Amino acid sequence: MTFSPELEKKLAKLIASYPPGKEKSALVPMLMFTQDEVGCITPELVQEVAKRLNIPPVQVDEVVSYYSMLHRKPMGKYHIQICTNISCLLWDADKLFEHACQKLGLGHKQVSADGQFSLEEVECIGACSWAPAIQVNYDFHHHVTPEKFDQIIDSLKKVQ
Amino acid sequence: MADLVTLTINGKTVQAPPGTLVIDAAKRAGIEIPAFCYYEGFSLQAACRMCLVEVEKMPKLQASCTLPVAEGMVVKTESDPVVKARKSTLEFLLTNHPLDCPVCDKGGECELQDMVFRYGAAESRFTEIKHHVDEKQWSPIVFYDAPRCILCYRCIRVCSEGMGVGALGIVNRGVYSEIAPSHGDHLECDECGACIDICPVGALTSGTYRYQTRPWEMKHVGTICTFCSNGCKTTLGVRNEKIVRGNNRDKSGINGEFLCIKGRFAFDFQDHPERLTSPLMRIDGKLQEVSWAKALEAVAKKFAEVKARNGKFGIVGSTKTTNEENFFLQKFARQGLGTNNIDHHRSGDVVTLMDALAGRTNALATVEDCYQMKAALVVGADLAQEHPLLAYQLRANFRHHNARVYTVTRGPVREDQYSVSRVRTEPGKELEGVESLRPMLSQEPELLILFGSSIKGEDVRRLVAFADSLNIPVKYICLVDYSNSRGAVDMGLLPDLGPGYQPVDNPGLTLPEMMAATDLDVLWVVGANPLARYSLAAANAFVVVQEMFLTETAQRADVVLPAASAYEKNGTVTNVTGQCQKLTAAAKTMGTKPDLEIMGLLAKEMKLNLGIWTVQSVFEQIRTQVRGYNIPLPVVATGQAAQTSPLNGRIPVISRPDLIQSASNTLFTSGSLGRYSKKLTSVLEYPGELYRP
Amino acid sequence: MLYNEPSPLETRVLTRRFGLPNSAHIDTYLAHGGYRSFEKCLEMTQEQIIEEVKASNLRGRGGAGFPTGLKWSFVPRQSPKPKYIVVNADESEPGTCKDRVLMENDPHLLIEGVLIAAQAVGAKRGYIYIRGEYRYLIDIMDRAIEEAYSRNYLGKNILGRGIEFDLYTHTGAGAYECGEESALLESLEGKRGQPRIRPPFPAVAGLYQCPTVLNNVETFCAVPSIIEMGGKAWAELGVPKAGGTKLTCLTGHINKPGVYELRLGFPVEKMINEVGGGIRGGKKMKAFIPGGSSCPVLTGEEAWPLTMDYDSMAKAGTMLGSGGVIIMDEDTDMVKAALRIMHFYQHESCGWCIPCREGTTWLKKLLTRLDQGLGTSRDIDLVGDLAQNMLGRTFCPLGDAAALPTISIVQKFRHEFEAKIAKVQVAMPASANHPFVVVQ
């Protein structure tokens, strides 16, 4: 399996950032960065990462299935993550999530048929003072009302 | 040793060396602290929380499996808060447990059942929906039922730490966590089943035993595995004369925890459909069933006739029959038939080693030495494949004592994972590889040398001379193939040596010589299959075969006498390190007879006086007549291993390295017998690659 | 970028460069006193640095509040093994969003704090473990690290003084448990983020089993000002036994939610009413969580007279925690709140030990049912009982973190649970021992 030259460069730098013999440390970041490019953690990617870090594939499987940001199936081009944890809940994040389900026609961890959007109810994303908060891929949006949510989605649709 | 630490457990004063864990200190004082995840010899987990105890001056309950003893510590292992905590942990554990004890293989010997019984989490307050996942089959051997799993991680540790395989992992998170096999949906591993045995509940079950019986319906018979030469004790579970299980959960025997696929699952040759259950005689050119009386009469008649005219016998003994049988066979040959034409399939040059070590004491290693000695050198052998117990012991030695292991082998071996140095050599050039390790080896305080069949003849002497020149204490293991390969040599199944390596006056024919002799009158094969490897030159030879199956040799026979298997007979066998252990009959196959009985009946039929041929009396003869076998009776009688010590003076033997050839079995093959184990063949036929180091 | 207006009542020590144009750039940092403390440390012995940190009464800002100087002093500096500095930037305690603003607005402050720690224990390598969700902060930190290398504050010969220190970022991938220091180290070693058996503690056997200083972002960020001001002066910003300021995240039903730097010992009432502009809509405060959702919940009445420091909160039966203040007004559904909190811990339980894995799952199921009014008063008792059965018996603090808020909510707001189940008619209400059958 080969990755883009930029990613290869990034991975080389990543592996070099751990002491010799401790390359396994690169596992979680490597999975994150490659997932960003590949779209999800495919069985081939598991094998590839295992090979590059010289570890048994089962050790990669152990890690992939542990971390909630690593996905076995592709998420949408825009992965909408709505925090409904306590601080956001107090600002009606549960209602925002329901609104999002309606707006996108998706449920928790579902992907739209065209692959453009996916929705996930996530745990605290560290935006508690600016609740309710969502992340579209890695981008934060704060104080998200249902109206603001619609604007965000609509503008993403326009970008397509 | 450092000063002992004194502490109090349940009011009892206990002393333990510093660093001892409270759970161990309690155990030594006769106080059992329950635990699922704690397992002696493997890494600590502190995950199950069952071993929590109350320690004075500590605010919270402490996990006794990770708490070292301290001076003046006051521990309570069954106080009210402790019992309440255990009860609640069990209540938690049962929430997602399927409670399918009525059909669970483990029912009746389940640690979870025992614990719930003891701490009484009987009332269930859980009225929610249980988390369920379907059962999975990972290999012909291993099945996994996740809901029953309590996540104690014993299986993961025995596989990675104990076996050095690391085929199991843990996937998912939280309540969805489960054990996962090495290759996504299936296992590629040793198929040893250690994970199944070590599982405290019925989460891991075996393809052999699952849904066969309830544990209390079996009788449990401890005997010695009949496959390789390591001599593991296996406890056979027998129901209605059928062996349904092999394990070693009581950790007795020289193998403790350990068994490989053969000891645990390959007993199924015992009720193989092709098992011979009636004597066969060649009538009109075809082998036909006859009565025992008729068959024995025919053999005795032929033997007497050939003996009377001074004809030529060829006798091939077995590397799997008992010492008693081997001793009796050579006695039958030498005293009864007057011939030294007796041999067996030789797989290691034990004789030359014994000669090279003449006059020494303490030069032969035991299985325990593999675990205790500070350094080991493996020459020309893939231990994990051919000698799994010795490999396990070395690995445990490394894990627990940081043993320094060196390998000189043709290809990669599993010991490479932790060996300090590995040398790859061409076959026959092993000694050059060994020599290259001299600087390192000479720094070791002591050394254990294990060598395979490629080191034979003069090479054995050179190896010993090399080790002598290191000027450190050295012990040896000459690796041989089968469960009684060593015993066959010790008992004198050789044309030039009698029992205890005593030279005979007129050396007889070797196995290849017998096969090549065109004037051979009788070929008598007891539990061996020489025709798989040689062709029989004497077209008119009368062939008598004692066998379990219609092997290549049996097919050529004039008379086939159906023999009992090692699991159906009593007696003793001697393992690769010269440790003599007792076989106990576990089951019976109607129509068969133990080889000793067959030979005894033959002697009777021939009116030969070869002495009483009960197992006990022959063993007594061995003890008094075979050098090195004057072993204490109680040790053998109680199922322990007695170390034989046949070292003596020089052995005036002509070295015949050409006769020595190992079958180089893998974990899943074992000569002719292995072919009749469905479990072994099913693993060989299983898609996917078998584990190689 | 700042997400809320600063308050005049703040004591801006760590956050003093916030709001400056281009505040994350090294030039801004250097122009405002940056890296001076580190340079000062180059003239100090390791003992002097550690003593200064001890004198500051700085306590770990991640939530546990362990004295930082003491933690550093546990590092066996004579050990031949390499020493590591690890920054815990896995900020995931619900209610907490302070490390994010520190790294975003002043990344060099963190780097300087790390450099001082490295100097204090003789470490040559450090990692900043940043939670996966904070990807943009990895970019910010990477840029800052690059700047620091280019100005010779990082590298093989720092400031020409023959000092070596390399610093790297490392991303997590979504696991609350990795905020626990030993789980973080496991994760950093490429494994599942499951906690380790302790002792040994990271100071002795941390990353790669080597001595490791592992602190929260805010803790490291506090260090430069401690060196600058002197430990004693820094300590005096706070209260006895807990020095300095604390970044406090006001969240929930408050008019001006946001991150504010307040002196330790700041009165709760003043914090809510003056810094935070009072409870939203002029309502009453029903419940108060001082430092992230792991803390026992206080009622409004209990909380008003307290001050924001470790001892005051401990006396009230809760903890100062991470500084994530969660304020709930009189209309808050406490059963729902309990459920949401448990939902989180159930999701994040690593599964390693039985009481946490099974306990959080059972409690989540039970609370889900109670939230729908389906249950009996026996079920309410069961919630408290199960939480008690987890408390103090799990492998790591996550079990306690799940149990403590639950126990306090059931204890203090039991009437809300009862009101919920009273609304739904249950077929067999008289017998508490029967499973419920619902008629709606």
b/e per residue, B130-151, with b = 16+ CB within 10 A?
eeeeeebebbbbbbbbbbbbbb
Domain boundaries B5-92, CATH class: alpha beta
CB-based contact, B150 to chain C, within 8 Å: yes
Q: Is C19 within a domain? A: no
pLDDT beyond 90 at B657: no
The confidence band for B2, taking pLDDT boundaries of 50, 70 and 90, is: low
Q: Kindly determine whether residue C97 and residue A62, on different chains, have CB atoms separated by under 8 Å.
A: no
Q: For B268-278, write each residue's pLDDT tens digit.
A: 999 999 999 99
CB-based contact, C371 to chain A, within 8 Å: no
pLDDT at residue B250 in the model? 87
SS (H, E, C) chain C: CCCCCCCCCCCCCCCCCCCCCCCCCHHHHHHCCCCHHHHHHCCCCHHHHHHHHHHCCCECCCCCCCEHHHHHHCCCCCCCCCCEEEEEECCCCCCCCHHHHHHHHCHHHHHHHHHHHHHHHCCCEEEEEECCCCHHHHHHHHHHHHHHHHCCCCEEEECCCCEEEEEEEEECCCCHHHHCHHHHHHHHCCCCCCCCCCCCCCCCCCHHHCCEEEEEHHHHHHHHHHHHHCHHHHHCCCECCECCEEEEEEEECECCCEEEEEECCEEHHHHHHHHCCCEHHHCCEEEEECCCCCCCCEEHHHHCCCEECHHHHHHCCCCCCCCEEEEEECCCCHHHHHHHHHHHHHHHCCCCCHHHHHHHHHHHHHHHHHHCCCCCHHHHHHHHHHHHHHCCCCCCCHHHHHHHHHHHHHHHCHHHHHHHHHHCCECCCCCCCCCCCECC
Q: Is C52 within a domain? A: yes
Q: How much is the mean pLDDT over chain A?
A: 96
The confidence band for C2, taking pLDDT boundaries of 50, 70 and 90, is: confident
CA distance C72 to chain B (A): 24
Structural domain span for residue C253: 245-329
Number of separate domains in chain C: 3
Whether C220 and C74 map to the same domain: the answer is: yes
Q: Kindly determine whether residue A124 and residue C92, on different chains, have CB atoms separated by under 8 Å.
A: yes
pLDDT beyond 60 at C434: no
The residue ranges of every structural domain in chain A are 5-64, 78-159
CA torsion through residues C198, C200, C205, C208, sign: negative
**Which residues of chain C have a CB within 8 Å of the CB of B60?**
392-393
Whether C349 and C320 map to the same domain: the answer is: no
Q: Is the peptide bond before C405 cis (omega within 30 degrees of 0)?
A: no
Average pLDDT (C346-366) is 97
pLDDT at residue B184 in the model? 86
State the residue for tokens 């007993």: B267
Q: Kindly determine whether residue B174 and residue C365, on different chains, have CB atoms separated by under 8 Å.
A: no
Q: Which fold has domain A78-159?
A: Glutaredoxin (3.40.30)
Q: Is C18 within a domain? A: no
pLDDT beyond 80 at B121: no
Nearest CB neighbour to A58, from listed B172, B173, B182: B182
Q: Which fold has domain B363-478?
A: Dimethylsulfoxide Reductase; domain 2 (3.40.228)
Average pLDDT (C10-34) is 96
Distance from C-alpha of A137 to C-alpha of C74, rounded to nearest angstrom: 41
Distance from C-alpha of C341 to C-alpha of B488, rounded to nearest angstrom: 71
Q: For B406-421, write each residue's pLDDT tens digit.
A: 999 999 999 999 999 9
Whether C213 and C256 map to the same domain: the answer is: no
Q: Is C428 within a domain? A: no
Q: What DSSP state is assigned to residue B326?
A: H
CB-based contact, B286 to chain C, within 8 Å: no
State the residue for tokens 């193939």: B481
CA distance C361 to chain B (A): 7
CATH 3.40.50.740 domain range(s) in chain B:
280-347+484-662
Given a contact cutoff of 8 angstroms between Cβ atoms, the answer to whether C126 and C166 are in contact is yes
Whether C135 and C270 map to the same domain: the answer is: no
Q: For C32-87, write each residue's pLDDT tens digit.
A: 999 999 999 999 999 999 999 999 999 999 999 999 999 999 999 999 999 999 99
Stretch (H or E) spanning B316? strand B313-316
Give the rounded percent of residues in chain C with a pLDDT score beyond 90: 95
Q: For A103-155, write each residue's pLDDT tens digit.
A: 999 999 999 999 999 999 999 999 999 999 999 999 999 999 999 999 999 99
* Secondary structure (3-state) at B612: coil
Whether C41 and C78 map to the same domain: the answer is: yes
Whether C143 and C260 map to the same domain: the answer is: no
Q: How much is the mean pLDDT over chain C?
A: 95
Of C216, C235, C254, which marks where a domain is finished?
C235
**Which residues of chain C have a CB within 8 Å of the CB of A69?**
132-133, 173-174
Q: Is C9 within a domain? A: no
SS (H, E, C) A122-134: ECCCCCHHHCCCE
Q: Kindly determine whether residue C354 and residue B48, on different chains, have CB atoms separated by under 8 Å.
A: yes
CA distance B153 to chain A (A): 13
pLDDT beyond 70 at C431: no
Whether C340 and C415 map to the same domain: the answer is: yes
CB-based contact, C129 to chain A, within 8 Å: no
The confidence band for B140, taking pLDDT boundaries of 50, 70 and 90, is: very high
Given a contact cutoff of 8 angstroms between Cβ atoms, the answer to whether C261 and C271 are in contact is no
Q: For B84-103, write each residue's pLDDT tens digit.
A: 999 999 999 999 999 999 99
**Which residues of chain C have a CB within 8 Å of the CB of B176?**
351
Domain boundaries B125-271, CATH class: alpha beta
Q: For C398-418, write each residue's pLDDT tens digit.
A: 999 999 999 999 999 999 999
Of C296, C329, C362, which marks where a domain is finished?
C329
Q: Which stretches within B98-215 are classed as H helix?
A: 111-119, 154-157, 194-198
Q: Which CATH code fits B280-347+484-662? A: 3.40.50.740
CA atoms within 13 A on the CB side of A105: 5
Distance from C-alpha of B104 to C-alpha of B212, rounded to nearest angstrom: 10
Of C329, C345, C369, which marks where a domain is finished?
C329
Nearest CB neighbour to A128, from listed C96, C175, C336: C96
**Which residues of chain C have a CB within 8 Å of the CB of B92?**
354-355, 357-359, 362, 389
Distance from C-alpha of C380 to C-alpha of C414, rounded to nearest angstrom: 8
Q: C250: domain CATH number?
A: 3.10.20.600
Distance from C-alpha of B202 to C-alpha of B113, rounded to nearest angstrom: 10
Q: Is C2 within a domain? A: no
Q: Kindly determine whether residue A63 and residue C192, on different chains, have CB atoms separated by under 8 Å.
A: yes
Q: Which chains share 3+ C-beta pairs under 8 angstroms with B?
A: A, C
Per-residue CA distances from C10 to B251, B309, B628, C1, C97 (Å): 67, 118, 89, 18, 17
Q: Kindly determine whether residue C354 and residue B92, on different chains, have CB atoms separated by under 8 Å.
A: yes
Q: For B197-255, write each residue's pLDDT tens digit.
A: 999 999 999 999 999 999 999 999 999 999 999 999 999 999 998 999 999 988 889 99
Average pLDDT (C161-173) is 97
Per-residue CA distances from A131 to A89, B147, C422 (Å): 8, 39, 32
Average pLDDT (B188-193) is 93
**Which residues of chain C have a CB within 8 Å of the CB of A25?**
170, 188-190
How many CB atoms are closer than 10 A to CB C354? 29
What values do phi and psi take at B142, rounded to 5?
-110, 125
Tell which C residues from 244 to 263 touch A, by Cβ distance under 8 Å: 249-253, 257-259
Range from B1-5, B289-293, B322-326, B541-545 carrying the lowest mean pLDDT: B1-5
pLDDT beyond 70 at B342: yes
Angle at C178 between CA C174 and CA C180, to 5 degrees: 150
Given a contact cutoff of 8 angstroms between Cβ atoms, the answer to whether C308 and C321 are in contact is no
CB-based contact, B83 to chain C, within 8 Å: no
Residue C284 buriedness (CB in 10 A; 0-12 / 13-18 / 19+): exposed
Given a contact cutoff of 8 angstroms between Cβ atoms, the answer to whether B141 and B265 are in contact is yes
Q: Kindly determine whether residue B128 and residue C197, on different chains, have CB atoms separated by under 8 Å.
A: no
Whether C393 and C293 map to the same domain: the answer is: no
* Residue type, position B5, single letter: V
